[in-house]
Amino acid sequence: MSTSSKRDSLEAIGEFGLIRQLKQQWSASSPWIVKGIGDDAAILKAHQGQQLLISTDVLVEGVHFNLAYQTPKDVGWRAGVANLSDIAAMGGTPLYLLVSMAMPARIPPRHIRELYRGLQAACGPYTVELIGGDTASSPSHIFLSLTIVGSVQANRALTRSRAEVGDRIYVTGTLGDSNAGLRILQTHSKHFRSSSLSAVEKFLTRRHVRPTPRIHVGQLLADRNLAHAAIDLSDGLSSDVGHVCEESQVGAEVRGKTLPLSSQLRAFAQRNNLDPMELALQGGEDYELLFTAPAKHHQKVLAVSKQTKVPIACIGEIQPKIFGQQFERSDGRKQKLAKKGFTHFSNR
Amino acid sequence: MSTSSKRDSLEAIGEFGLIRQLKQQWSASSPWIVKGIGDDAAILKAHQGQQLLISTDVLVEGVHFNLAYQTPKDVGWRAGVANLSDIAAMGGTPLYLLVSMAMPARIPPRHIRELYRGLQAACGPYTVELIGGDTASSPSHIFLSLTIVGSVQANRALTRSRAEVGDRIYVTGTLGDSNAGLRILQTHSKHFRSSSLSAVEKFLTRRHVRPTPRIHVGQLLADRNLAHAAIDLSDGLSSDVGHVCEESQVGAEVRGKTLPLSSQLRAFAQRNNLDPMELALQGGEDYELLFTAPAKHHQKVLAVSKQTKVPIACIGEIQPKIFGQQFERSDGRKQKLAKKGFTHFSNR
């Protein structure tokens, strides 16, 4: 590779730089599109006061999953949740799924069926139908590409771009568990007995292999018009706060003391001499929701938490853009909210 | 791999066997779905007398394309046409595109932008908007997954399942050119000068790298209610006739004498001691349309050909299922229409 082409390498511009470039390269607008590229899902106008949401995700063996420590069913589950979570982040109802895959010939079809079973199980609580897909052979790794279609009441979709200064920042569930669970799994082979895991390890690995999409929370936030902006935590808290700030042209302050951490994460961090806060900030694939809502809706947000039995914590506030994105550590010192969440093509 | 798992291998059950199994594993029905999995695109109910079409395709480096003899722009063009062609085969209008890709870090972003330019160029004659996608890194090969959304007048979509006994079988354009073009390209590196190609070779390679989706033909057939069934020729004529027969529960007779072959294909076949008929029957990725229409519409079908300036040839007739799928050779002898079109996971 020449020096000049190095500057134009994927490592240099990164995933988001690339998406930005492509967005500029291909821009148009149609009256049917309420929101195009750049959010968790596209919004298309549909019938009967509904708008359609459509989103796609790609998962690559060796990058997003590893059959060395995950079963095909786990892979399917997590792929399903990654897609469902995009619909949750828009406040929508998942409806249809298209599944494309490319498989090396070494993969036995029963593994593919297992993968589909995991996908189906993740979609189980919702009425999601498989309406299409494509299969192909692959020379080496497994590739999965899922496209999900959902619906949302017209003009109620939660986007990343409507956070307002003064909004409170909320997250569902607890953060960083998936990251810790992955670290535990990576030290084991797929043939390990989960009975050999401690209760803490069982909890954390479960949070990694069986994440829960927050569909119901998203739906209630949208239906009741409570939230200004929302995103699902797939890249990691600091990255995903950054996405909302960038799209909404605002700043944010996140307070470490208020981050919801499970006791299991704290125990794991202590035992492994890790900073639990760092695990929560940088850990990707929690598939929890982050949303912003005006302070006046605080009680109503708590009511959503009570109704859905999903914990919701206020972790900070939206600030003017000039404020930047800051993190207040537990000891009160402030630091820049650094985006170290998972990005493809980065130099890590 | 054990003997028992070998019987359950992808090679043994093949792509269509796998799709069938997955269809059975995950079946449901919703009043919004007009047609789910199993056709060129799914049909969803939409607004204002329109139905939505949605289709997805996966393309893998080393399987569907090869940068050794294709430029990134070629790859993008062909990926776009593969998707547009699915909408053409439903008689629809392409509207939106979602593009997912996984790329090894070795690929320079300018190649990705070139690929998008090819995609955009293929979509150029139509108002297709990019509304989403996902990018990821890949450990080895490039993986592309496209999802296209289109619309069609309610209940006018052309499916594979409504061919009727007595229907004439039509195809657009000429068959086998893409197959021949690919064979020519495979004997060259990407650095060859196209000026070194003969006029015949230029025509055939062009037909491979720049196929045309038959959007307008499909639209007119649907709008004017002329065709009973349609499919695009992506797997190869014999395979794709087979798909229509299977879905419609009918047989078919295809007459070799009437297959539309370009003079360039005949010249190429003669020079290389190949059977041009075989190239036309088994060659995939022509992206021409195959459709069936009642004999009474013959003149109207010819009018579509005239209006769109796309040749349309009658190549046979739909027969009762018991007839099977037969091919009448030019010498009058009949043989089974063998499905040797490209299938993934096959033992070829």
> For residue range B92-102, what is the model confidence (pLDDT) as tens digits?
999 888 888 89
Whether the per-residue pLDDT at B32 is higher than 60: the answer is no
CATH of domain B3-153: 3.30.1330.10
pLDDT, residue B78, reads 93
pLDDT, residue A341, reads 47
Whether the per-residue pLDDT at B239 is higher than 70: the answer is yes
Give the residue, A261 or A235, on which the prediction is more confident: A261
Asked if B9's CB is within 8 angstroms of A105's CB, the reply is: yes
Give the residue, A135 or A3, on which the prediction is more confident: A135
Amino acid in the structure at residue B75: V
Instruction: Tell me the pLDDT tens digit for each residue of A36-89.
Output: 555 555 666 666 677 888 888 899 999 989 888 889 999 999 999 999 999 999
Are B244 and B168 within 8 A, CB to CB?
Answer: no
- Which residues between 193 and 252 in chain A have a beta carbon less than 8 angstroms from any beta carbon of chain B? none
pLDDT, residue B176, reads 96
ipTM of the complex: 0.83
Nearest to B107 among A10, A47, A103 (CB): A10
pLDDT, residue A196, reads 80
Asked if A106's CB is within 8 angstroms of B1's CB, the reply is: yes
Whether the per-residue pLDDT at B233 is higher than 50: the answer is yes
Tell me the pLDDT of chain B averaged across its residues.
85
- Which residues between 106 and 125 in chain B have a beta carbon less than 8 angstroms from any beta carbon of chain A? 106-110, 112-113, 116-117, 120
Amino acid in the structure at residue A344: H
Whether the per-residue pLDDT at B50 is higher than 50: the answer is yes
**For an interface test with A, which of B4, B147, B234, B348 has the most A Cβ atoms less than 10 Å from its Cβ?**
B147
Looking at residues B52-69, what average pLDDT do you find? 89
Instruction: Tell me the pLDDT tens digit for each residue of A116-128.
Output: 889 989 998 998 8
Whether the per-residue pLDDT at A266 is higher than 90: the answer is yes
Instruction: Tell me the pLDDT tens digit for each residue of A8-42.
Output: 555 555 555 655 665 565 555 565 566 655 555 56
Instruction: Tell me the pLDDT tens digit for each residue of A239-256.
Output: 999 999 998 999 999 999
Whether the per-residue pLDDT at A222 is higher than 80: the answer is yes
Q: Could you write out the DSSP letters of every residue in B151-203?
A: EEETT---BSS---TTPEEEEES-SSHHHHHHHHHHTS-TTS-GGGS-HHHHH
CATH of domain A31-153: 3.30.1330.10
Least confident of A5-14, A133-142, B277-286: A5-14
Please list, in sequence order, all residues whose beta carbon lies within 8 angstroms of the beta carbon of residue B313, skipping any fewer than 6 positions away: B170, B171, B258, B259, B260
Distance CA B315, CA B335 (A): 15
The residue among B197, B224, B221 whose CA lies nearest residue B209 is B197
Asked if B105's CB is within 8 angstroms of A10's CB, the reply is: yes
Whether the per-residue pLDDT at B232 is higher than 50: the answer is yes
Whether the per-residue pLDDT at A2 is higher than 60: the answer is no
Distance CA B281, CA B269 (A): 13
Whether the per-residue pLDDT at A146 is higher than 90: the answer is yes
Distance CA A51, CA B197 (A): 51
pLDDT, residue B19, reads 54
Whether the per-residue pLDDT at B12 is higher than 80: the answer is no
Please list, in sequence order, all residues whose beta carbon lies within 8 angstroms of the beta carbon of residue A280, skipping any fewer than 6 positions away: A175, A176, A179, A237, A259, A261, A265
Cβ contacts (< 8 Å) between B33 and chain A: which residues? 96, 129, 131
Which range of A49-53, B65-69, B75-79, B168-172 scores highest in mean pLDDT? It is: B168-172
pLDDT, residue B347, reads 34
Whether the per-residue pLDDT at B189 is higher than 80: the answer is no
Work out the pLDDT band at B70, boundaries 50, 70, 90.
confident
Report which DSSP code applies to A215: H
Work out the pLDDT band at B283, boundaries 50, 70, 90.
confident
Cβ contacts (< 8 Å) between A160 and chain B: which residues? none
pLDDT, residue A347, reads 34
Please list, in sequence order, all residues whose beta carbon lies within 8 angstroms of the beta carbon of residue A47, skipping any fewer than 6 positions away: B45, B46, B47, B48
Asked if B139's CB is within 8 angstroms of A143's CB, the reply is: no
- Which residues between 243 and 262 in chain A have a beta carbon less than 8 angstroms from any beta carbon of chain B? none
The residue among B134, B100, B144 whose CA lies nearest residue A16 is B134
Distance from CA of B38 to the nearest CA of A (A): 7
Instruction: Tell me the pLDDT tens digit for each residue of A154-174.
Output: 888 899 989 999 999 999 999
Instruction: Tell me the pLDDT tens digit for each residue of B88-138.
Output: 999 999 988 888 889 898 888 788 888 988 998 999 899 888 788 888 889
pLDDT, residue A38, reads 54
Please list, in sequence order, all residues whose beta carbon lies within 8 angstroms of the beta carbon of residue B340, skipping any fewer than 6 positions away: B236, B238, B239, B281, B282
Length of chain A in terms of residues written: 348
pLDDT, residue B37, reads 55
pLDDT, residue A284, reads 82
Whether the per-residue pLDDT at B9 is higher than 60: the answer is no
Least confident of A12-16, A308-312, B53-57: A12-16
> Does A313 touch chain B if contact means CB atoms closer than 8 Å?
no
Work out the pLDDT band at B155, boundaries 50, 70, 90.
confident
pLDDT, residue B90, reads 92
Distance CA A248, CA B63 (A): 42
In chain B, what are the domain boundaries? Answer: 3-153, 168-336
Looking at residues B282-308, what average pLDDT do you find? 96
Cβ contacts (< 8 Å) between B117 and chain A: which residues? 25
What proportion of chain B, given as a percentage, has pLDDT over 70? 81
Are A120 and B25 within 8 A, CB to CB?
Answer: yes
Distance CA B296, CA B310 (A): 20
pLDDT, residue A109, reads 79
Distance CA B61, CA B71 (A): 12
Helix, strand, coil percentages for chain B (3-state, nearest 5):
40, 25, 35
Nearest to B63 among A41, A47, A138 (CB): A138
* A-to-B residue pairs, Cβ atoms closer than 8 angstroms: 265
pLDDT, residue B192, reads 60
At the topology level, CATH places domain A168-336 in Phosphoribosyl-aminoimidazole Synthetase; Chain A, domain 2 (3.90.650)
